[in-house]
């Protein structure tokens, strides 16, 4: 049967992040992608100039339409924008009970623009974290979610990851792309272990949509039946290659996109 993944996220009009990046990631990894759009954004490689949230009831309608017809193997959740949307998503996923949920707590765009209302953070933690198979925050997002300083050591990362686990999710992938040094190290943390996953840090300005694409790649692997560690390892290897190939593109004047289809052209 064809593996299917659903992305619940915002639309990026420039095509580098959000729904557009998610669908590209699914397609590049051999998974059929469906979508439920939570917000429209007016943005490009230099920043976000406008956000138009989709009514929560219509987010529900999209999710219900997909699940009532497609055999969804995994769900990726990205930009959720506001508390009403979070509640609608949580209710819908409780009803449909997908096998895997990968939650990327998108709070700030690569350009620095805020994508999640401050008052919605509590709803994200209380309503969606307990349903998540995996959450994929970067170092600044972990700090914002916990009200702490950004971690600067492996011990701090593991301690903060454990605090996030206590909020109900099954596993945490703390992304180290905002760190320093020759290696970009992510940490996969669950109740039993912490696994450091390293890759060379690539010098490029074309990193728009990196987090969206990584979380979608993990969801794609889970939809294909991979275990969590395997899905995360494969996704990290793929996104590293996509970042390394990003400079083949000349798109926009700011943070350009990664090359989702680097294996094909």
Residues assigned a catalytic role: 175, 207, 209-212
Distance CA 112, CA 120 (A): 18
* Gap between the Cα atoms of 191 and 193, Å rounded: 6
**E strand segments, 13-107:** 32-44, 47-53, 74-77, 101-103
What 3-state DSSP class applies to 5?
A: strand
With contact defined as beta carbons under 8 Å apart, do 169 and 135 qualify? yes
Question: Do residues 73 and 120 make contact, with C-beta atoms less than 8 angstroms apart?
Answer: no
Angstrom distance (rounded) from CA 52 to CA 39: 6
Q: Residue 33 — φ and ψ, nearest 5°?
A: -105, 135
> Residue 167 in contact with residue 147, Cβ under 8 Å?
no
Q: Where are the beta strands (DSSP E) in 78-116?
A: 101-103
> Is residue 51 helix, strand or coil?
strand
* Alpha-carbon Rg for the chain in angstroms: 17
Phi and psi at residue 126, in whole multiples of 5°?
-85, -30
Q: Please name every residue paired with 199 in a beta bridge, in sequence order, or none if there are none.
A: 184
Q: Measured between alpha carbons, how far is 54 from 45 in angstroms, rounded to an integer? A: 22
């Amino acid at each position: 049967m064809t593996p299917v993944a659903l992305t619940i996220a915002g639309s990026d009009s420039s095509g580098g992040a959000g729904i557009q990046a998610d669908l590209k990631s699914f397609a590049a990894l051999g998974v059929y992608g469906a979508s439920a759009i939570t917000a429209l954004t007016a943005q490009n490689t230099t920043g976000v100039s406008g956000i138009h949230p989709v009514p929560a009831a219509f987010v529900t309608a999209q999710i219900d339409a997909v699940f009532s017809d497609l055999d969804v193997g995994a769900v990726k959740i990205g930009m959720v924008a506001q508390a009403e949307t979070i509640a609608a998503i949580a209710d819908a996923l409780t009803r449909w009970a997908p096998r895997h949920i990968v939650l990327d707590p998108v709070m700030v765009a690569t350009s620095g623009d805020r994508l999640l209302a401050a008052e919605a953070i509590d709803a994200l933690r209380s309503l969606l974290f307990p349903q998540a198979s995996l959450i994929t925050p970067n170092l600044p997002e972990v700090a914002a979610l916990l009200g702490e300083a950004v971690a600067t050591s492996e011990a701090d990362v593991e301690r903060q990851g454990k605090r996030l686990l206590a909020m109900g999710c099954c596993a945490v992938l703390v992304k180290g792309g905002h760190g320093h040094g020759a290696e970009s190290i992510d940490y996969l943390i669950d109740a039993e272990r912490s696994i450091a996953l390293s890759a060379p840090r690539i010098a490029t300005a074309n990193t728009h949509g990196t987090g969206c694409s990584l979380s979608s790649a993990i969801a794609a692997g889970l939809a294909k039946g991979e275990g969590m560690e395997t899905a995360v390892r494969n996704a990290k290897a793929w996104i590293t290659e996509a970042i390394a190939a990003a400079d083949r593109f000349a798109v926009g004047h700011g943070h350009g996109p990664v090359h989702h289809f680097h294996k094909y052209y």
